[in-house]
């Protein structure tokens, strides 16, 4: 049995992606299920639940049909058979795009800076900035100080100020 919080990858997203790439015309979630020969209710539900992820990434966009005269705008939004089109120009985002920006922000900000400064300068997320800072501190590339007071347990890394870059190695 799998651990709590983990899930088993079934390859459904990859199969959906391949099926959608082959379509030139708009499609619905039901058409995806039929095309992939998915008959079980649970599997069909997984297809419906994964479409917002494709929308968020920009792989798929909602196809705008003409106005349906007998339905109000509110009813049109609630329709279950929304049509989508695959964005053939979509490419997967390159990995490791934030780390060089975070390291440059550390270099630019002189000898003393806070994690929030790096977050603001680099435009990266808080978790990613803190993860890179922790790895640099454990490797000995940065030394940290508490910034005037010891960090409390309730705020473990928000008040830490980093000082003295002791030679950032290129990674």
> What's the CATH fold of domain 12-86?
Arc Repressor Mutant, subunit A (1.10.10)
* Fold matches, 12-86 and 98-165: yes
Is 98-165 a CATH 2.60.120 domain? Answer: no
- For every one of its 171 residues, what pLDDT tens digit does the chain have, with 9 covering 90 and above? 434 456 677 889 999 999 999 988 899 999 999 999 998 899 999 999 999 999 998 899 988 765 555 666 666 655 556 889 999 888 887 777 888 888 888 888 877 788 888 898 888 888 888 888 888 888 888 877 655 444 444 444 444 444 444 445 444
Which residue pairs from 25-29 have beta carbons closer than 8 angstroms and sit at least 24 positions apart in sequence?
25/85, 26/63, 26/65, 26/83, 26/84, 26/85, 27/83, 27/84, 27/85, 28/81, 28/82, 28/83, 28/84, 29/81, 29/82, 29/84
Q: What CA–CA distance (Å, rounded) separates 36 from 21?
A: 13
CB 148 within 8 A of CB 163: no
- In this prediction, residue 166 carries a pLDDT of 46
Domain boundaries of the chain, sorted by first residue: 12-86, 98-165
- Give the rounded distance of the alpha carbon of 152 from its chain centre: 30
């Amino acid at each position: 049995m799998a651990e709590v919080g983990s899930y088993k990858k079934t390859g459904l997203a990859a199969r959906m992606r391949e099926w959608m790439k082959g379509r030139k015309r708009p499609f619905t979630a039901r058409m995806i299920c039929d095309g992939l020969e998915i008959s079980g209710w649970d599997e069909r539900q997984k297809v419906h639940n994964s479409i917002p992820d494709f929308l968020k990434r920009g792989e798929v966009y909602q196809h705008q049909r003409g106005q349906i005269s007998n339905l109000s705008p509110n009813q049109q939004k609630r329709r279950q058979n929304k049509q989508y089109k695959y964005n053939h120009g979509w490419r997967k985002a390159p990995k490791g795009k934030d780390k060089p920006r975070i390291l440059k922000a550390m270099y630019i900000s002189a000898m003393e800076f806070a994690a929030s400064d790096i977050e603001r300068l680099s435009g990266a997320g808080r978790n990613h900035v803190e993860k890179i800072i922790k790895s640099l501190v454990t490797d000995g590339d940065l030394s940290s100080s508490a910034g005037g007071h010891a960090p409390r347990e309730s705020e473990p890394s928000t008040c830490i100020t980093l000082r003295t870059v002791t030679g950032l190695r290129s990674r």
